[in-house]
Structure 1
Amino acid sequence: MELIKQGAEAKIYLSEFQEVFKIPLLREKVIIKHRIPKRYRIKEIDEKLRKERTIREARILHRAKEFRVNCPYVYEVNLRDMIIVMEFIEGERLKEHLERIPMEERLSLCRKVGKEIGKLHRAGIIHGDLTTSNMILRDGKVYLIDFGLADFDSTLEAQGVDLHLLKRAMESTHYTWFAQGFKVVLEGYAEILGEDARQKIEEKIAEIESRGRYRERNWVG
């Protein structure tokens, strides 16, 4: 078992199915996500929070799968140790891949990104951390990963914030072509949810951006 990432809330390990479930010869890779205890919190409150977040993430992934979102399968949830064992999506991070391919291919993948987000929002789920770092390209399909900040929320405000965060992330990481790329993301989104939903989400994103500019002006003043 190899530690591959450590965040504020959890440690992420890469392991094999046979090691976790004691099934010989099955060498499929899995991700083990362990929500670690926080010593600064009262023990009972800490356990309650970690349990709630572990259950919520597992339920979100299960519901996303029901709506055909490309995301990891959940194999096991251990509420004694606050662990989720899930599928390892082996492929290339979209963040790097998008910078190495022609523009036509980039836009094709951006459309796929928009479709996956559309399916996620149709399921009443927001991801909470939409960046191309949390997207994997496997067998020509875009997979969403890292649902630690995801939540059940079908409000236009939450969906607008979700896509606004992606727009800002793309502007930062893919600044030479992000405007065209994000436009195609929204086109893919509309293929799932319809043009009316696209218009509403564009208006909401613009509203969120205007609120941000208003706060910046007041802060500077």
Structure 2
Amino acid sequence: MTEAEWLASEDIEAMFGVVRARSKRRRSRLFAVACCRAIDPALPDPRSQRAISIAELHADGSATDAELASVMLGAHEVVLARASDPAVIEAAASASEGLTRKAAGMRQWSYRMGMERAAECVAVPHPYRAAVQVGELVRSRLFHFQGPDRGAQASILRDIFGHIFRPVAFSPSWRTSVAVALAAQMYESRDFGAMPILADALQDAGCDSADVLDHCRGEGPHVRGCWVVDLVLGKE
């Protein structure tokens, strides 16, 4: 894959093929988490929500392997319960008979099951595999109605992994107290609305990297793991 293809691609598997060798587990897991949050920030079962939250904490070393395993099992229970729900079974049977309204109901149930399956995937021990599995779920027909498209996923991936063909040499002198405070606030809150302000702070500190400044001032999206925010905070 060339740099031009990387910047335009919507093929998540191909993009991961490029970054896998140099990918840190943290970034792969944060990508999977971001995809789950993009699917639906209000999953109905607390176990699914907890799986996403703990997986995100685990990526930054703030949750243990045991905690991750526990929430993975909890999220799996949600998927099993959904699959055995009488309403799901009835909707599936009706869909197989070609009844339009029931078939639509089955698609909605399938959408919900798919989201919960994604929450389970994000907590598996191997973040790369989890990210690809979540990617498959998001791009499947289950998410035809409400899920992010391939372009949105690819944009999230680029936000996390950055310019892999032209790594930015980030000067420590750009890491001023103002820049660090802005980056930390956005990271903790997951609200990246201050990215243009971060660009101003970096530029005031002497940053002359067009890649860094343009990324901060671009349309985004920006998520936890954003390569510029990571550079400012000194995260790997």
Relative to the length of structure 1, the TM-score reads 0.27
Tell me which protein shows more helix as a share of its residues: 2
Larger RCO, structure (CA 8 Å, separation 6 or more): 2
Tell me which protein shows more strand as a share of its residues: 1
